[in-house]
């Protein structure tokens, strides 16, 4: 696969990703300290949620770097890396992504209703925040599914 960037070289992109990855690693350590040192159970719980996301981000950045390394060093696969999609029409995948998008949209509606139900909870309750986070995650799921749907069609 030949790699083209409109605004820079693969080397510059790789450097930007590596720099961001180093920053992510430092942030991850800060969150770990927060969780380890906080006497508050709620803060530790929320901190662990952030750590899970940050760890995933850190791994994805490393996989993106490996993918670009594979582009730069032609013929050598550096792994683990992000996979590539192969262009094809897949009717079953189109149907399944439509179904999943509908389920995610239904989930979002239910979460919005739940959010309304929780608006009068105690200010120290984590429940409204957790529902808001789930709504963000659901929006991300829909975006991913729409990408897959466009790819499969």
Under the banding of pLDDT at 50, 70 and 90, the label for residue 8 is: low
What would the mean pLDDT of 49-53 be, rounded to a whole number?
96
Full 3-state SS string of 19-71 = HHHHHHHHHHHHHHHHHHHCCCHHHHHHHHHHHHHHHHHHHHHHHHHHHHHHH
Residue 21 structure tokens: 């990855």
The rounded distance, in Å, linking the Cα atoms of 111 and 89 is 33
Q: Is residue 24's pLDDT more than 50?
A: yes
**Each residue's pLDDT tens digit, 106-153:** 999 999 999 999 999 999 999 999 999 999 999 999 999 999 999 887
Under the banding of pLDDT at 50, 70 and 90, the label for residue 45 is: very high
pTM of the model: 0.81
The rounded distance, in Å, linking the Cα atoms of 68 and 82 is 9
Under the banding of pLDDT at 50, 70 and 90, the label for residue 6 is: very low
Cis peptide bond prior to 84, omega within 30° of 0: no
> What is the reported pLDDT for 37?
97
Task: Please tell me whether residue 85 adopts helix, strand or coil conformation.
Answer: coil
């Amino acid at each position: 696969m030949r790699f083209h960037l409109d605004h820079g070289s693969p080397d510059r992109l790789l450097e930007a990703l590596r720099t961001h990855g180093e920053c992510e690693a430092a942030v991850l350590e800060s969150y770990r300290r927060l969780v380890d040192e906080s006497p508050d159970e709620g803060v530790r719980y929320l901190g662990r949620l952030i750590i899970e996301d940050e760890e995933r981000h850190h791994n994805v950045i490393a996989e993106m770097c490996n993918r670009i390394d594979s582009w730069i060093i032609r013929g050598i696969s550096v792994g683990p890396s992000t996979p590539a999609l192969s262009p094809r029409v897949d009717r079953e995948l189109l149907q399944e992504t439509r179904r999943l998008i509908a389920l995610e949209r239904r989930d979002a509606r239910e979460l919005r209703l739940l959010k309304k139900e929780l608006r009068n909870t105690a200010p120290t309750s984590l429940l409204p925040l957790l529902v808001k986070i789930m709504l963000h995650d659901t929006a991300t799921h829909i975006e991913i599914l729409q990408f897959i749907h466009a790819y499969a069609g």
